Structure 1
Amino acid sequence: MSDDFANDVAEGLSATPKTLPSKYFYDAAGDDLFIQIMDLPEYYLTRAEMEIFREQTDSLIKALGQRPEKPFELVELGAGDGQKTFHLLKKLLSDGYDFTYVPVDISANVLEHLKNFLKKELPDLKIRIEQGDYFKRLKGLQETAQPRVILYLGSNLGNLTDEKSKAFMEKLSRRLTPGDRLVLGVDKKKSADIVLPAYNDSKGVTAAFNLNLLTRINRDLGGEFKLEQFRHAPEYDEENGIAISYLESLVDQDIIIGALDRTFNFTKGEKIKVEISRKYDLPIIRKIIADTPFEIETVFKDSQDLYLDIVLLRD
């Protein structure tokens, strides 16, 4: 991880414009801050998807296309704290389904908490944790004769550009066999007055979450970022449905990163792109999966029509 982190930071801060990968938000402090974000009144995404998993569990299970007596794997990419998935896991167990839950996450800290929580709450659950970047873990998904259901929730797809989403979905489809399914959770396109506060909350938790990335560079790579000389600066293109989070330099400054033996120059107002949060509608999803063997089977939405969980069949 440290070599990947160093290489990605060096590459991103040398680029024009500057970027940093959002996957590095998630150290122990970042995990805690993101849990706080999910509880914020402005952050509707988690509540909307939680409602789908809590209120439409039976219909969702039916849409997975599995039989109780036939074993299958339930693989969750970017599992996080597993709170949404818990409702699904609990109901699958109570209905007598034979399955193994495989949470995949870049954060070992999150996976340890998730494993301990599930062992306590669902002691009969069969679980196999997989730690690492799930884009890389896709290459190592075990060959199995069992059917697979992949969960890709939390609008994590929205952290990619459409071109990278197409490539990701194509790679994922090659790791699955005909009859496997993917549950894809995505945030819907909507007005800026709803979207922007979700990425710029009144308590400043999201700002702290994003700025923690600079703290991590300071700690792990010997960086000399002064957090007070940067600000969290989100933007949203309502027409195209793309939210982008930046860290903006408030002054002209030179930043030394000791582990890289490099100095990076920032001008006042220069921005580091740290996250893209794409919003979707069904036509956009159809374009993304157009060159894959996925087809849309079932679409679930929350009561306020803010969010979609889409069940895709791998032909």
Structure 2
Amino acid sequence: MKTTTLTNPFAEDVTKGLTASPKFLPSKYFYDDRGSRIFMEIMAMPEYYPTGCEFEILSQQSPAIVNELPFTAPFNIIEFGCGDGMKTKHLLKAFMEHGVPFTYIPIDISQEAIDVLEANINLALPGIDMQPQTGDYFEALTGIDSGKPALFLFLGGNIGNYKDAEAIALLEKFHTQMKAGDMLLMGMDLQKNPRVIQKAYDDSYGVTKSFNMNLLTRINRELDADINLDQFDFYCDYNPQNGEVNSYLVSLKKQHVHSALLNTTFYFEKDELVWTELSKKYTLESITTLAGSAGFNVVHNFMDCMHYFTDSLWIK
């Protein structure tokens, strides 16, 4: 394998992942503009319960969430990985009706997602004070008024994409950015019937497969590679004993692919796996443990009627 100087994080991470043993591709690269559109299709599938469950929580329990917050002066609502804002608008509406002024600061890596969110939120809540940011979560925080109290939102079960040590490290970074009394509302998927989870992450329509295969399309486009998508498949597995869904791309033959941009060739064995994503499911006990590990206290777990999902409210 011959390599050249790498010039961007995507190139660096792809090179690292496809030369590792076992191979992997970081799931954060799912969310280019096309990947974000495919994920919106996933969220619309009836089998993909997290979206509907969290929508139920935020549409029916937002006033109760607002009542748990101590803010009486102007504050910030900072949302990481905001997506299209269709769930968050219910919470924002409850805050507007509560009467305490706030600034909504949605942060997403996808500019297209931010554009869609702005249109949705402005249509639903005209007059809202909104300052959207595109880019890395913590880089975007540098320009925000940190003098105000803040509610941080990390919805959608995104914390489940991090291994335990990585999740604690991320939450500790949140904790460092927060002041005493600031709060974090975090979407967390709960352990349940394994068949329900398996169907949600291995749908019969092939949408989740397309979401994963888009990583290969992105490598072809951005790194000038020659990956034949027909020579790869998608597989996922749920382990109910540890609550982990792991997703993979599978090489269907012994093959090699070349990136002209990197001047690098990557080699795959037949049936070799490329790990793409972890989606961890929690118990209420493990949520309390995770919060404590990062210096937070759990205030309340707001759950949907089936107890499939929780928006867990923590305080620093």
Could you say which TM-score interval applies, normalised by the shorter chain?
Answer: over 0.9
Which of 177, 182, 190 is 2:184 aligned to?
Answer: 182
Contact 1:141–1:175 (CA under 8 A) maintained in structure 2 = no
Which of 149, 157, 160 is 1:158 aligned to?
Answer: 160
| Aligned match of 1:104 | 107
Query: TM-score when scaled to structure 1?
Result: 0.95
| Aligned match of 1:6 | 11
Q: Distance in 1 between matches of 2:212 and 2:21?
A: 20
| Aligned match of 1:79 | 82
> C-alpha displacement at 1:170, in angstroms?
1.1
Aligned residues: 311
| Aligned match of 2:4 | none
Q: Distance in 2 between matches of 1:148 and 1:47?
A: 26
Q: Distance in 2 between matches of 1:297 and 1:289?
A: 10
Q: Distance in 2 between matches of 1:237 and 1:135?
A: 32
Contact 1:190–1:241 (CA under 8 A) maintained in structure 2 = no
**3-state DSSP class of the match of 1:35?**
helix
Q: Mean Cα displacement is larger for which, 172-181 or 276-285? A: 276-285
| 5+ long unaligned stretches in structure 2 | 1-6
| 5+ long unaligned stretches in structure 1 | none
> C-alpha displacement at 1:121, in angstroms?
2.5
> C-alpha displacement at 1:256, in angstroms?
0.6
Q: Distance in 2 between matches of 1:286 and 1:242?
A: 18
**3-state DSSP class of the match of 1:212?**
helix
1:134 matched to 2:137? yes
Q: In 2 relative to 1, CA 235–158 (structure 1 residues): closer, same or farther, beyond 3 Å? A: same
1:1-315 aligned at under 5 Å gives the runs 3-67=8-72, 70-134=73-137, 136-137=139-140, 140=142, 142-314=144-316
Q: Distance in 1 between matches of 2:34 and 2:46?
A: 21
> C-alpha displacement at 1:286, in angstroms?
2.6
> C-alpha displacement at 1:119, in angstroms?
2.2
Contact 1:102–1:128 (CA under 8 A) maintained in structure 2 = yes
Q: Distance in 2 between matches of 1:133 and 1:159?
A: 16
**3-state DSSP class of the match of 1:36?**
helix
**3-state DSSP class of the match of 1:290?**
helix
Tell me the C-alpha RMSD between the 2 structures.
Answer: 1.5
> C-alpha displacement at 1:143, in angstroms?
4.7
Query: TM-score when scaled to structure 2?
Result: 0.95
| Identity score, percent | 40
> C-alpha displacement at 1:81, in angstroms?
0.7
Contact 2:291–2:298 (CA under 8 A) maintained in structure 1 = no
Report Cα offsets for 1:267-303 as digits up to 9, x if no partner.
1110111110011112222332333331011111100
